[in-house]
Amino acid sequence: MKLAFFGDVVGKPGRKAVLDHLAALRARLCLDFVVVNAENAAGGFGLTGAIAEDFFTAGADCLTLGDHAWDQREMLIHIDRDPRILRPRNYPARANAPGHGAHLFELADRRRVGVVQVQGNVFMRDNLECPFAHAEAALEEFPLRRVSDAVIVDVHCEATSEKMAMGHFCDGRASLVVGSHTHVPTADTMILENGTAYQSDAGMCGDYDSVIGMRKENSIYRFETQLPGQRYEPALGEATLAGVFVETDDATGLARRVEPIRIGGRLSPAEPAV
């Protein structure tokens, strides 16, 4: 199976990169399943139903969110209407959070792909329940080879150490563990000891002539003066579509190959050959 995960879509440039490139890329790479992290897609803050539909039309099968899941209030209702949109699984039960943090998707050919999102706790603005316990529960719900043919885990968190720990925790039980949230693609694309593909952060789909997708002038002012300054706004230059490609072994669901994807914008290009 051929899978792809694309990092946080930031604002209008990020949306344009997805809409301009995803359909053709899906065809070129013969992708069976695509996940897009869309939590910054609506002006840098959250996701709307209309934008979600645009992404699905462009070729996404699943959208994940993160700590900005509810920045657009409509998502509190819309997420219950569309199981293809996932928020972090590790909200406490007492929160009664709408939507779900894991889902088993069935493809047209009857193969099944499990997608899980958990949010880390280190350096994050909200402390949710233990992401490792919730990842464990989801992996037990649709175990690789017995229930699912592939499993993708989106680890939405700040600390690289927490992401790496999750990769090793899931090693051998997921096809791909990939980080989101920090908006910078890391150079540690690899297959772990027991066969799980891993990358600490897939990067963002956004303008890299920026500070993690936002206008650099606003961020520089805040760092320089320690004053709040203007509201953060997405940078509006040409975006890079950034993500990771995985090819799995049909017999095991584990990774045979993993490579970065970078198309357009300022970053050096990278596209797997198939």
Q: Which active-site residues does the annotation give?
A: 68
- Structure tokens that stand for 42 in this block: 């609506």
DSSP class of 100: B
Q: Look up tokens 């979600």; give the residue.
A: 52
Helix, strand or coil, per DSSP, at residue 117: strand
Answer for the pair 261, 244: CB distance below 8 angstroms, yes or no. yes
Helix, strand or coil, per DSSP, at residue 73: coil
Residue type, 172: G
Q: Rounded to the nearest 5°, which phi and psi values hold at 215?
A: -50, 125
Answer for the pair 9, 15: CB distance below 8 angstroms, yes or no. yes
Report the half-sphere exposure of 211 (CA within 13 A, side-chain side).
11
Q: Phi/psi class of residue 95: alpha, beta or left (left: φ > 0; alpha: ψ in -120 to 50)? A: alpha
Q: How far is CA 6 from CA 96, 149, 230, in A?
A: 28, 20, 29
